[in-house]
Amino acid sequence: MGNKLSSQQGFFEDIAKILHSGRSQAYQAVNSAMINTYWQLGQRIVEEEQRGEVRAEYGKALISNLSRYLGDNFGKGFSAANLWNFRQFYVTFPSLEEFSTHCVGNLSWSHVRLIMRLESAAERNYYLQEASSQNWSTRLLERHIKSGYYRRVLAHQGPLNGVLPGSSVAPFIKDPYVLEFLGLPEDLTGKESQLEQSLINHLQTFLLELGKGFSFVARQMRISTETSHFYVDLVFYNYLLKCFVVVDLKAEKLTHQDIGQMDMYVRMFDDLKRGEDDNPTLGIILCADKDETLVHYSVVSESQQLFASKYQTLLPTEEELAAMLEQETAKRLDDRQADPAGDKA
C-alpha cells in the first residue's frame, strides 16, 4: 500500500511540473505578445506624427483623440498616459529585435516602463539583462534603479579600487553598498555588532544587495591556528565565482590595520577552509568611509582577492548618482588614454 501511495505521489508531482511549465510558457507568450503590441502601437503613433504637423500641439491632440477612440472600442487601458508610454517605448527602443536580444519573455510591461526612462542605453541594457536573467520583481528592479545599482558596480571597476577592468570578479563588487533597508542611522560609530545583527535580521534583502550567486554560510565563523582563534564577521559562498567571500564590518573609517587584518583572514581562510575545487577566497571590508589614497597605496590596489567598499544607510541622492556617473565616465576616459589601441579595437 505504501509503495502504491509513493508511486502516486510521484505521478502527482509530475503532473504538477507539467502544469507549472505550461503556465509559465503561456505567461511568457502572452507577455511577449503584449509587449510586441505596445511597441507596434508606439511605432504607428510616431509614424502618424511624422506625417502630420511637426508641432507639440498636434502630438497632444493626436494622442488625446486616439485615447478616446480606443476607449470607446476596447475599453480601459488606453489612457493618454499609457499611449505616451507606448510612444516612448518605440522611441527608446526603435529596433524591437535589438530590444529582444537583451531580455526574454519573463519581463512585464511594468519592468519595461521602469527601464525605458533611463537615459543611458548601456544602463538600460544592463537592467534588461539582469532583471530578466535574475527574475527580478518590479519592486526589486525599482529599488536597484533608485539605489544606482548599475553605477555602483561600474564605480568599483578600476585599478584604484583593486578590481582590474574585465576581471571576472568585477561585476560582483559594488561601491558603495546601499543598506537603507536596515533602517539604521548614518553614524554607527562603535556599533558594529548592531550593524551585523541588522544585516542578519534582513539577510534576504542583504543577499539581493550583494548580487547574484551569493549564499549565506555563517556569522562570526571561527578560524583557528595552533595558538590563536579569529572570528570572521560574515561568510558567504558565491556559486557563480565558486569561492568563499568573507566580509569584515567596520563602522568607522578604513585603516591600515583593517586591511592587514582582512589580508590575514583571506590567507587563513584559503589555507584552512577552501576546498580543492574552490577558487581563491575573496575578502570585502565593508566600512563607513575610506581614504582612496590609503586604498591606492595598500595591498588592496594590486590584489584580486581584497576589496574595500563603503556602505551607506540611506538611498543615494540624485547628486550622488550623478557623481557615480562622472566617476564611471572619467575611468573610461583614463582607460582609453592609457590604451588607445585597445579602444580602437
- 229-276: pLDDT as tens digits: 999 999 999 999 999 999 999 999 999 999 999 999 999 999 999 999
Q: Which residues partner with 184 through β-bridges?
A: none
Q: What is the pTM of this model?
A: 0.80
Residue with cell 564577521: 233
Q: Which pLDDT belongs to residue 343?
A: 47
- 267-323: pLDDT as tens digits: 999 999 999 999 999 999 999 999 989 988 888 888 889 999 999 999 988 888 777
> With 70 as the cut, is the pLDDT of residue 170 above it?
yes
Q: Where are the domains of the chain?
A: 29-100, 159-318
The burial of 337, by beta-carbon neighbours within 10 Å (0-12 exposed, 13-18 middle, 19 or more buried), is given as exposed
Lowest mean pLDDT segment, chosen from 55-59, 160-164, 167-171: 160-164
Q: Which residues partner with 229 through β-bridges?
A: 224
Residue 226 CB contacts under 8 Å (≥ 6 apart), including other chains:
none
**Closest among 174, 115, 167 to 150, alpha carbons compared:** 174
Q: Which pLDDT belongs to residue 328?
A: 63
Q: Which pLDDT belongs to residue 191?
A: 93
With cut-offs at 50, 70 and 90, classify the pLDDT of residue 56: low
DSSP 3-state helix, strand, coil percentages of the chain (rounded to 5)? Answer: 60, 15, 25
Q: Which CATH architecture fits 159-318?
A: 3-Layer(aba) Sandwich (3.40)
Q: Which pLDDT belongs to residue 301?
A: 83
